[in-house]
Every structure is written in structure tokens, then in C-alpha cells.
Amino acid sequence: MQSKNISIIGKKMDIFFNKFDNPIRVGSIILNEKDLKSESDFIEALQKVTKNLDNGTYTVHHDNGLFARFDMMDTQLVRIHKWSEITSAIMPCWNYFK
């Protein structure tokens, strides 16, 4: 399991939509400690900046790589992926939730 040593609090992270293996930046988010206390807190923070996104799967990236992957449907965030589809490792965002 990856530790919480990724310094992301207060730093801008980009949100991407991966269309035909071509990532397109669609926004950004800056997270506070309270946004990472639980999955529901993280979802609430994401929904504030993703409410106008189209249906699809999106990723949040920090300086060192992928932080989270989530799905949007009908302007609602419907799922935060727990496991990487490529490596089967837990997504770094889950290491922050209590």
C-alpha cells in the first residue's frame, strides 16, 4: 500500500478526460485536508469542479502521476475507482480516507 507521503494538500491538480488515448485537460482542483477525510468528502470536493463534465471516465493527476480516477454520468460523479485497471494497485486517493 502506498503511503500518504504524496504532498497534495493545497496544490493544484489537473483533471483529464482520456479521449482515444489522448488526454484532454478539462479542469483542476485544489484539495484541503478536510476534502480527503473520507470518500464522500472527496466526492463532494470533486463535484464542485466537475458538475459540467460530460459522461465518461476522468483522472486527477498530481506532480508524480495519477491520484484518482472517477466516472461521470448525467452531470453526477457516480464512482471513484479504487483499483488501477492497469496495475491493480490501489489508487493513491484511497490512502487518505479514514
Digit-coded pLDDT (tens) for 29-80: 999 999 999 999 999 999 999 988 999 999 999 988 899 999 999 989 999 9
Q: What confidence tens digit (pLDDT) does each residue in 7-21 have?
A: 788 899 999 998 777
- At residue 66, the pLDDT reads 92
Contacts of 74 by beta carbon, 8 Å cutoff, 6+ apart: 55
Q: Cell numbers of 80, please?
A: 471513484
CA distance 76 to 55: 9
- At residue 6, the pLDDT reads 58
